[in-house]
Homo-oligomer: A and B are copies of this chain.
């Protein structure tokens, strides 16, 4: 998994602490963690394509969450950045084995494939069961100063 997932999750979380309607330029989001702006911008574009953030142009333009944190799961963010493909990609090895059925879709019928898919589903289920709002609430409980610090930091950045 690329570092883009970590960047995207933290950026979404930071955006969740800003007043609704306040957009942040990509350069500021990058500056927050001293990230390379061009590369973070790619992740932000991917989040925008997935409908997780929206962007506006103009002097007060930038990125903001496109929907409420209750309606963004961690899986949404991961899939936006990494794609929906499973970690285990079944190449249908059984097609190359003895007595293979050329018409079979071994991604469905192969029990190795099914076992690996079950693990993938457990992973997805865990990420789909946590929203950005859950994460936000957890951070606020453990680190109460974070929301205020985040807002202040964005205000202080000149990027």
Contact = CB atoms under 8 A, between A and B. Distances in A.
Nearest to A150: B98
Given A5-B88, A112-B9, A142-B111, A93 B33 contact: yes
A87 interface: yes
Q: What secondary structure prevails in chain A residues at the interface with B?
A: helix
Contact of A93 (B7, B91, B111, B139): B7
B13 A112 contact: yes
A1 B93 contact: no
Contacts of A111: 135, 138-139, 142
B97 A32 contact: yes
- Counted per complex, copies of this chain come to 2
A99 B144 CA distance: 13
Indicate the member of A10, A120, A130, A142 with the most B CB atoms within 10 Å.
A10
Contact of A96 (B34, B87, B94): B34
Contacts of A122: 122-123, 125-126
A33 B95 CA distance: 8
B87 A87 contact: yes
Contacts of A66: none
